Chain A
């Protein structure tokens, strides 16, 4: 049995005077794509921020690759892509990539490889600010791929992308997972859930489900994951 890539134990987070995450306990297996699904405002981004160690937490433990989240030893192993592209809009695509390559101590050749992975190899000299929103998101993603991290934490990386690009990115995510990387991808679009190996369903800061898409369908008796999510949400409400 391989050890979990991420272990979260009794995690509680308060934000702006409200409980943002409540009593979360789960594990994320390595070498797989785990989807973090839930409506907007359910705490997805906050949970991802906990995994990369930038979120102040109230209580609980977050262990990533056997170390406490955010510890210095993890900073070369974890790649993080925020929801809005965090890149320099006043620099070219290539300059952004080369800069983040230097920061994560990767080789300059990795910058070209990462651009290739997100399908932007021909835009290296373009100013990021002149690109479309979806392209900026991909530049931001490439800047995380440049260091070939063992764990990739992606906050809604496919928002605003056309279906072909979305499919291509998901194929790339699967190639990364096949090569041994662990991916955690948040989304509020249920059709992306089917592309994940495992799903975490979050609602109002609480975990509603933690299972494979297959057994979620079985458990709820519906082939449609959106419907499955609705039924689980109703059940958790009835229980509360």
Chain B
């Protein structure tokens, strides 16, 4: 591990994102616009907006970071830069943590904009405070990044990489408890939702809203999301092969 290499990688990834103005604008603006849309879709039932608004603040960064990472990593693989990096003294951890740092900062900016608008302007309820919401959103973004990194190894083209979104992300979204409470699902579906990490992010957000504070339960949910992130990162690291056929 080298701090200089890790920081240089984070700075390099941020530079690439910043140079792509349109992607940057979409990253920052789209979640906020969707929150506004959601607010008025549920204009007649503010309680529903309160129930699903908070979890969505964590799901947006999950989805965007999954997409951005899987395409960015695929580019590193197909452009030959990954192979080149792996012939240098750079450690795999340097690369992964560099990416994580860059995307964590991007997520902070994304969540800052979306939650400011949601809490201050759209009147979204935040009984548990804003900080835990941001924490869960951040954990979710890193989970999305780790999964994106892992699946990028199985995509040969950008078309394939993008198709992993409906394959990996949508089932988690349907089963995470946002559309229907998890305890009312068919047993089989509930069992599946029990092993999907996004469920715990949504559980955490829901508990935060109901209990009105950061309880031990929320901490456990957060720990599960973080644990899954570490596992996915380890799996992703295993796909960074120095020697290939």
- What is the interface of chain A mostly: helix, strand, loop, or mixed? loop
**Which of these, A70, A76, A99, A104, contacts B243 with CB under 8 Å?**
A70
Is the CB of A54 closer than 8 A to any CB of chain B?
Answer: yes
- A35-43, A83-91, A177-185, A202-210 - interface stretch: A83-91
Contacting residues of chain B (83-99) with chain A, CB-CB under 8 angstroms: 83-90
Task: Give the shortest distance, in Å, between B126 (CB) and chain A (any CB).
Answer: 37
Chain A neighbourhood of B20, CB < 8 A: 90
Is the CB of A235 closer than 8 A to any CB of chain B?
Answer: no
Q: CB distance B81 to A55 under 8 Å?
A: no
Contacting residues of chain A (159-187) with chain B, CB-CB under 8 angstroms: none
Is the CB of A148 closer than 8 A to any CB of chain B?
Answer: no
Q: CB distance B80 to A91 under 8 Å?
A: no
Is the CB of B213 closer than 8 A to any CB of chain A?
Answer: no
Given A54-B244, A88-B81; A76-B89 close (CB under 8 Å): yes
* Count class of interface residues, chain B: 20 to 34
Contacting residues of chain A (39-87) with chain B, CB-CB under 8 angstroms: 52-56, 70, 72, 75-76, 78, 80, 82, 84-87
Q: How far, in angstroms, from A87 to B87 measured CA to CA in the complex?
A: 14
**A84 nearest in chain B by CB position:** B80
Q: CB distance A15 to B81 under 8 Å?
A: no
Q: CB distance A80 to B242 under 8 Å?
A: no
Given A54-B244, A89-B79; A95-B87 close (CB under 8 Å): no
Chain B neighbourhood of A95, CB < 8 A: 12, 15
**Which of these, A82, A90, A105, contacts B84 with CB under 8 Å?**
A82
Is the CB of A230 closer than 8 A to any CB of chain B?
Answer: no
* Count class of interface residues, chain A: 20 to 34
Q: How far, in angstroms, from A70 to B89 measured CA to CA in the complex?
A: 11
Q: CB distance A99 to B12 under 8 Å?
A: yes
Chain B neighbourhood of A87, CB < 8 A: 79, 81
**Which of these, A55, A127, A143, contacts B244 with CB under 8 Å?**
A55
Q: CB distance B8 to A56 under 8 Å?
A: no
Q: CB distance B16 to A90 under 8 Å?
A: yes
Contacting residues of chain B (13-30) with chain A, CB-CB under 8 angstroms: 15-16, 19-20
Interface centre among B5, B80, B85 (most CB of A within 10 A): B80
Is the CB of A103 closer than 8 A to any CB of chain B?
Answer: yes
Interface string of B115-137 (1 = CB under 8 A from A): 00000000000000000000000
Task: Give the shortest distance, in Å, between A60 (CB) and chain B (any CB).
Answer: 14
Q: CB distance B87 to A91 under 8 Å?
A: no
**Which of these, B80, B85, B245, contacts A15 with CB under 8 Å?**
B245
Q: How far, in angstroms, from A16 to B244 measured CA to CA in the complex?
A: 12
Interface string of A85-118 (1 = CB under 8 A from B): 1111111000100111011110000000000000
Task: Give the shortest distance, in Å, between A158 (CB) and chain B (any CB).
Answer: 18
**Which of these, A75, A85, A88, contacts B88 with CB under 8 Å?**
A75
Chain A neighbourhood of B243, CB < 8 A: 53-56, 70
Q: CB distance B242 to A70 under 8 Å?
A: yes
Which A residues are closer than 8 A to B by beta carbons?
15-16, 52-56, 70, 72, 75-76, 78, 80, 82, 84-91, 95, 98-100, 102-105, 127, 143, 147
Extra contacts, 7 of them, besides A54-B87, A75-B88, A75-B89 (Cβ < 8 A), are A54-B244, A82-B80, A82-B83, A86-B79, A88-B16, A90-B20, A91-B12
**Listed A/B pairs (5) with beta-carbon separation below 8 Å:** A56-B244, A70-B243, A84-B80, A91-B12, A102-B8
